[in-house]
Amino acid sequence: MPTGIILKGIGGFYYISADEAIYECKARGIFRKNDVIPLPGDKVNFSITDEGSQKGSLDQVLPRFSQLTRPAVANINQVILVIAARSPVPDFLLLDKLLVKAAKENIKPVICLNKLDLDIDDAGRKISEAYKNAGYDFLRTSVKTGQGLDELEDKLGSMVTVFAGQSGVGKSTLLNSILKDLIMETGDLSIRSDRGKHTTRHAELIPLSCGGYIADTPGFSSFELESIEQNELQHYYSEFSNPAESCRFSGCSHANEPDCKIKELVSNGMIDMGRYERYIELLGYLKKLNDMKYKKSNKEKEKRQ
The CATH number that applies at residue 263 is: 1.10.40.50
Radius of gyration of the chain (CA): 22
pLDDT tens digits, residue range 84-136? 998 899 999 999 999 998 999 889 999 999 999 999 888 899 999 999 999 99
CA atoms lying within 13 Å on the CB side of residue 74:
19
284 and 188, same domain (yes or no): no
Distance CA 265, CA 71 (A): 37
Q: Quick one: 161 and 200 in the same domain? A: yes
* Cα dihedral sign, 174-180-182-183: positive
In the prediction, which pLDDT does 222 show? 54
Among 222, 239, 266, which residue terminates a domain?
222
pLDDT of residue 119: 92
Q: Which helix (H) or strand (E) holds 32?
A: helix 29-33
Containing structural domain, residue 243: 230-304
What is the predicted pLDDT for the residue at 273? Answer: 96
Q: Smallest Cα–Cα separation from 232: which of 210, 212, 251?
A: 251
Are 28 and 78 in the same domain?
no
- The CATH number covering residue 58 comes to 2.40.50.140
- The CA distance from 146 to 177, in Å, is 9
Picking from 179, 204, 222, the residue at the C-terminal end of a domain is: 222
| Ramachandran category for residue 35: left, alpha or beta (phi over 0 → left; psi -120 to 50 → alpha) | left
Taking only the tens place, the pLDDT of each residue in 41-88 is 999 999 999 999 999 999 999 999 988 876 789 999 999 999 999 889
- Do 75 and 204 fall within a single domain? yes
In terms of domains, do 253 and 299 share one? yes
pTM over 0.75: yes
